[in-house]
Structures are given as structure tokens and as C-alpha cells.
Amino acid sequence: MYEVELKPQAQRFIERQSQKVKRQLIKRIEALQEDPRPPGSKLLNSEKKVYRVRSGSYRIVYQVNEKELLVLVAKVDDRKDVYKKGLKYLIKALETDTA
């Protein structure tokens, strides 16, 4: 079983949502503990092992660390906004140790 960690940006986004959306997102993120690459997940960067999974009209971008059995959630956002700063920005955010 994997441990799930949220970056502050992802945590803040979830906290600002309605109770219904919060439950939806938390349920999807918790499911990553059992299977970090569920059906429908998409590999965004193979070198850094960055994935994206859908949750309604929201996207959850995360990194899988096999050695530590860790899923690091970098960003949660609406599908239209999640990549505004680009994939390179998301990968850089994953590399910083301000979890």
C-alpha cells in the first residue's frame, strides 16, 4: 500500500471546494493508495513518473515513487486550468521539498 502526500497547493485547492467536490477528490486520491496507476490514468512524463487521473471535471497530477511507496500529489485543479503553467512547471513543483 502506498502513502499519499499532498503538496500545499493541492491541499489548498481541495479545501476551497464544496463538500461534494471535496469528497469526490479525496475519494479519488485515497484510491491511489491501493493502485497508483488505475485504469484511466495517463502517464505525462515517464522519466519523472508523473501521472494524471480524472475526477469528474477535475484533474489530479501526481508522481509515483516506487522505492518509498509514495504518491505525491502536486496539483489538483479544474481540467481547463491544470496545465496553464505547463507540464515543466508541474514537474519542477514535484522536485521541490516543500510538501
The per-residue pLDDT for 94 is 73
Residue 57: DSSP 8-state: T
Per-residue pLDDT of the chain (99 residues; tens, 9 = 90+): 999 999 999 999 999 999 999 999 999 999 999 999 999 999 998 988 999 999 999 999 999 999 999 999 999 999 888 877 777 777 777 776 544
pLDDT of residue 92: 75
Interacting residues of 29 by C-beta distance below 8 A, sequence separation 6+: 4, 6, 60, 73, 76
Among the four given CATH numbers 2.30.31.20, 1.20.950.20, 3.30.2310.20, 3.50.50.60, the one describing domain 3-95: 3.30.2310.20
Per-residue confidence (pLDDT) for residue 83, from 0 to 100: 74
